[in-house]
A and B are shown apart, each in its own frame.
Chain A
Amino acid sequence: MDPVVFDLATAAVRELNAELHQPAADRYEVRNPRGAHALVAGVADPVIIDIYGTAGYYAAGMNDGATITIHGTVSTGVAENMMSGTVRVTGNASQSAGATGHGGLLVIEGSASMRCGISMKGIDIVVGGDIGPMSAFMAQAGRLVVCGDAGHGLGDSIYEARLYVRGQVKGALGADCVEKPMREEHVEEVKELLTRAGLDHDPGEFRRYGSARALYHFQAGNSGAY
């Protein structure tokens, strides 16, 4: 069946999202998004959506089950608080990509800016390029795979999320974030995530970062870290 096409040169974002919240079709295309915000936010059905062009803030926000591809770049908070499903960005993403996501897979084929994966709660994020500073801040759960470099302050105040970086981590790691050994299960984990993301790298080239768990209990002796 041909996809239902929404051309945002003429249709409103409200019409698009209202349709997607009670989808009559199983496949949609969005043309001329022109950087509009909250595009395809709050979809809760396993539909397939392709957006051709640049999306604004919170594209695919709170996605719960849809397979969404943005053929272009996205602004702040792509796939924020995703529950399940897949969101793919063929270009670059701005700040807070995948913020607070609980589940699903976010793939950014280009690079992501600051705060990628901030407060992530179970989402998997794979970035083909680099990520900016302060990424994975207070990351609680899930996996973040970075094929390029990571900016300074990676994983500050991290909880139980697992971070994998192929390139360099610039500057100091964030508070309570440490490099950890890559055991066999971690190599397998990276391999599986790269495969799902459709990216081709040697999983053995990645290094793993996670929590030292030294700040899990408030102690005055740690005042220098707070």
Chain B
Amino acid sequence: MTQPHLRESATFDRATIADIQRAARTGVYDIRGFGAKRRLPHFDDLLFLGASISRYPLEGYRERCDTDVVLGDRFARRPLHLQIPVTIAGMSFGALSAQAKEALGRGASEVGTSTTTGDGGMTAEERGQSTTLVYQYLPSRYGMNPADLRKADAIEVVIGQGAKPGGGGMLLGQKISERVAGMRTLPPGIDQRSACRHPDWTGPDDLAIKIQELREITDWEKPVYVKVGASRPYYDTKLAVAAGADVVVVDGMQGGTAATQDVFIENVGIPTLAAVPNAVAALRDLGLHRKVNLIVSGGIRTGADVAKALALGADAVAIGTAALVALGDQDPQHEAEYAALGSAAGFYDDYQDGRDPAGITTQDPALAARLDPVAAGQRLANYLRVITMEAQAIARACGKSHVQHLEPEDLVALTIEAAAMARVPLAGTDWIPGQGQ
């Protein structure tokens, strides 16, 4: 119990002091999983207005409010038609166990949405269990091959991710099993670096030619996504569109990671809330909003978050951390084991370490076997249904017969910061900071 006369420094708080002590003790910076933990302006800082005399709501549980979304019909011959606007973000086999990848596929497929591969290639488990699978095309090209490219339903060219725009990756040796190493053509047990830049193109003009090649190899069938970490989303969106993307994915700084430096997670990139309006503005300025699709990720947890992202102009969202929690990450049933690792349920972030008691972020066969892919997949499906129904409930209250009909006019902000970032009025006013009103 802290004594009342002891005053904690706001600058050197206990967490900061512990970080300094850890650095001094180990001589290595902190690499961890999860996403940004600092308080950031977020969707929590927005509210929906709901219907009133001037707006007509739809009857809950009676009147239709559709949730389906078509992605990638700009150039692709076979666009995706998802039943819900919530997709599963790219997470690698390697970072996750094969059971976890299978569970993601099972859960997503049950509700008619897509999953995404990650660094390390496509496994038979996830292709087999995912009705709709997006294949990531990453700088490392680990496991990349044309046969899997053709098996995919869409291709996501990854420029960066929200947890670390401008950063590559490192899968630490303890997670490099024989199978993971084989898929990546590297010796088992060594730390595997994932490059931060693509090896055969530099800059937006080259990217256009790279996308052309991917389309040629797959006979222009598959939607091509371009994923960027949120840093300069207005310009990155414009450049991705100019390069020929069907879908732009913008991942805010709350987006999760399997292994990144804490200093990177917490200090590089911009919040999802700040990124979405910029990306939408770029699409509007190009006259391509809703023609080139926008997927937003980074800190999506609830149906309210989904609805707010769509209202700001996204076509769909992607979830990663929330999906892992739905599978069983942070489950209090593992409390004793979390404690033995120096953590606790709700705080566990050592995804890089490979000792996940829940069997999700591990390659240890005994730990991974703890996760039942069928039961975990069912939990994910339940969760996806819940947040979709939540988004529908909000959309109906705003008088919308499709969740995609939500619009910025339905929103107000609780803080000046959120009003400025989201470009919606501060609640109770008509003031949008920076808009000259």
Spell out A's residues near B (CB within 8 Å). Answer: 13-14, 17-18, 21, 37-38, 41-42, 44, 56-58, 61-62, 64, 76-77, 80-81, 83, 95-96, 99-100, 102, 115, 118-119, 121-122, 137-138, 140-141, 157, 159-160, 216-221
Interface residues of B in 247-298 (CB under 8 A from A): none
Going nearest first, the 9 A-B pairs with the smallest beta carbon separation are A42-B217, A77-B200, A96-B200, A100-B141, A38-B213, A216-B190, A62-B146, A99-B200, A38-B216
The reply to whether A37 and B212 contact each other, CB–CB distance below 8 Å, is yes
Residue B345 CB within 8 A of the other chain? no
Residue B187 CB within 8 A of the other chain? yes
Question: Which of chain A's residues have a CB closer than 8 A to the CB of B428?
Answer: none
Which of B144, B147, B199, B213 is A57 in contact with, Cβ under 8 Å? B213
Question: Which of chain B's residues have a CB closer than 8 A to the CB of A62?
Answer: 145-146, 149, 217
Question: Which of chain B's residues have a CB closer than 8 A to the CB of A77?
Answer: 200-201
Which of A18, A118, A220 is B219 in contact with, Cβ under 8 Å? A18
Question: Which of chain B's residues have a CB closer than 8 A to the CB of A42?
Answer: 146, 216-218
Contact with A along B186-229 (1 / 0, CB 8 A): 11001101010001110000100110110011111000000000
The reply to whether B144 and A220 contact each other, CB–CB distance below 8 Å, is no
Asked, given contacts A57-B206, A62-B217, A220-B28, whether A121 binds B185 with beta carbons under 8 Å apart, the answer is yes
Tally B residues with Cβ within 8 Å of A: 35
How far is it, in angstroms, between the C-alpha of A131 and the C-alpha of B101 when the chains are bound? 41
The prevalent SS among residues of A at the interface is loop
Question: Which of chain A's residues have a CB closer than 8 A to the CB of B51?
Answer: none
Asked, given contacts A81-B141, A220-B27, whether A99 binds B199 with beta carbons under 8 Å apart, the answer is yes
Which of A38, A157, A160 is B193 in contact with, Cβ under 8 Å? A157
Question: Which of chain A's residues have a CB closer than 8 A to the CB of B193?
Answer: 138, 157
Asked, given contacts A38-B216, A42-B216, whether A218 binds B172 with beta carbons under 8 Å apart, the answer is yes
How far is it, in angstroms, between the C-alpha of A96 and the C-alpha of B210 when the chains are bound? 13
Known: A100-B141, A102-B185, A141-B185. 19 other contacts (CB 8 A): A14-B216, A14-B220, A38-B217, A41-B217, A42-B218, A56-B209, A57-B201, A57-B210, A58-B210, A64-B146, A81-B141, A95-B200, A96-B200, A99-B141, A100-B144, A119-B195, A119-B199, A137-B199, A218-B28
Question: Which of chain A's residues have a CB closer than 8 A to the CB of B170?
Answer: 218
Asked, given contacts A81-B146, A96-B200, A220-B28, whether A119 binds B141 with beta carbons under 8 Å apart, the answer is yes
Question: Which of chain A's residues have a CB closer than 8 A to the CB of B97?
Answer: none
B433 to nearest A CB, angstroms?
41
Asked, given contacts A41-B213, A58-B213, whether A83 binds B190 with beta carbons under 8 Å apart, the answer is no
Which of A21, A37, A115, A157 is B213 in contact with, Cβ under 8 Å? A37
Question: Which of chain B's residues have a CB closer than 8 A to the CB of A219?
Answer: 28
The reply to whether B185 and A81 contact each other, CB–CB distance below 8 Å, is no
The reply to whether B219 and A21 contact each other, CB–CB distance below 8 Å, is yes
15 contacts between A and B (CB under 8 A): A17-B217, A41-B213, A42-B216, A42-B217, A57-B201, A57-B206, A57-B210, A61-B217, A80-B199, A81-B146, A119-B195, A160-B187, A216-B187, A216-B190, A216-B191
Asked, given contacts A42-B216, A138-B193, whether A37 binds B141 with beta carbons under 8 Å apart, the answer is no
The reply to whether B185 and A140 contact each other, CB–CB distance below 8 Å, is yes
Question: Which of chain A's residues have a CB closer than 8 A to the CB of B195?
Answer: 119, 138
The reply to whether A218 and B141 contact each other, CB–CB distance below 8 Å, is no
The reply to whether B200 and A118 contact each other, CB–CB distance below 8 Å, is yes
**CB-nearest residue of chain B to A82:** B146
B20 to nearest A CB, angstroms?
15
Question: Which of chain A's residues have a CB closer than 8 A to the CB of B212?
Answer: 37-38
Contact with A along B117-151 (1 / 0, CB 8 A): 00000000000000000000000110011110100
Question: Which of chain B's residues have a CB closer than 8 A to the CB of A80?
Answer: 199-200
The reply to whether B145 and A58 contact each other, CB–CB distance below 8 Å, is no
Residue B166 CB within 8 A of the other chain? no
How far is it, in angstroms, between the C-alpha of A102 and the C-alpha of B140 when the chains are bound? 13
B29 to nearest A CB, angstroms?
8
B138 to nearest A CB, angstroms?
10
**CB-nearest residue of chain A to B173:** A217
Asked, given contacts A83-B145, A119-B141, whether A76 binds B201 with beta carbons under 8 Å apart, the answer is yes
Question: Which of chain B's residues have a CB closer than 8 A to the CB of A17?
Answer: 216-217, 219
How far is it, in angstroms, between the C-alpha of A220 and the C-alpha of B31 when the chains are bound? 12
The reply to whether B213 and A102 contact each other, CB–CB distance below 8 Å, is no
Question: Which of chain A's residues have a CB closer than 8 A to the CB of B199?
Answer: 80, 96, 99-100, 115, 118-119, 137
The reply to whether B209 and A58 contact each other, CB–CB distance below 8 Å, is yes
How far is it, in angstroms, between the C-alpha of A170 and the C-alpha of B339 when the chains are bound? 54
Most buried by A among B27, B28, B200, B201: B200
Question: Which of chain A's residues have a CB closer than 8 A to the CB of B172?
Answer: 218
Question: Which of chain B's residues have a CB closer than 8 A to the CB of A99?
Answer: 141, 199-200
B175 to nearest A CB, angstroms?
13
Which of A81, A95, A216 is B145 in contact with, Cβ under 8 Å? A81
Question: Which of chain B's residues have a CB closer than 8 A to the CB of A160?
Answer: 186-187
How far is it, in angstroms, between the C-alpha of A80 and the C-alpha of B137 when the chains are bound? 13
B169 to nearest A CB, angstroms?
12
**CB-nearest residue of chain B to A39:** B216
The reply to whether B141 and A217 contact each other, CB–CB distance below 8 Å, is no
The reply to whether B219 and A159 contact each other, CB–CB distance below 8 Å, is no
Which of A44, A141, A157 is B146 in contact with, Cβ under 8 Å? A44
B253 to nearest A CB, angstroms?
23
A21 to nearest B CB, angstroms?
6
The reply to whether B145 and A102 contact each other, CB–CB distance below 8 Å, is yes
How far is it, in angstroms, between the C-alpha of A141 and the C-alpha of B147 when the chains are bound? 20
Question: Which of chain A's residues have a CB closer than 8 A to the CB of B217?
Answer: 17, 38, 41-42, 61-62
How far is it, in angstroms, between the C-alpha of A221 and the C-alpha of B27 when the chains are bound? 8
**CB-nearest residue of chain B to A78:** B200
**CB-nearest residue of chain A to B140:** A119
Asked, given contacts A100-B144, A160-B186, whether A37 binds B219 with beta carbons under 8 Å apart, the answer is no
Which of A18, A76, A216, A218 is B200 in contact with, Cβ under 8 Å? A76
Which of B27, B149, B191, B200 is A58 in contact with, Cβ under 8 Å? B200
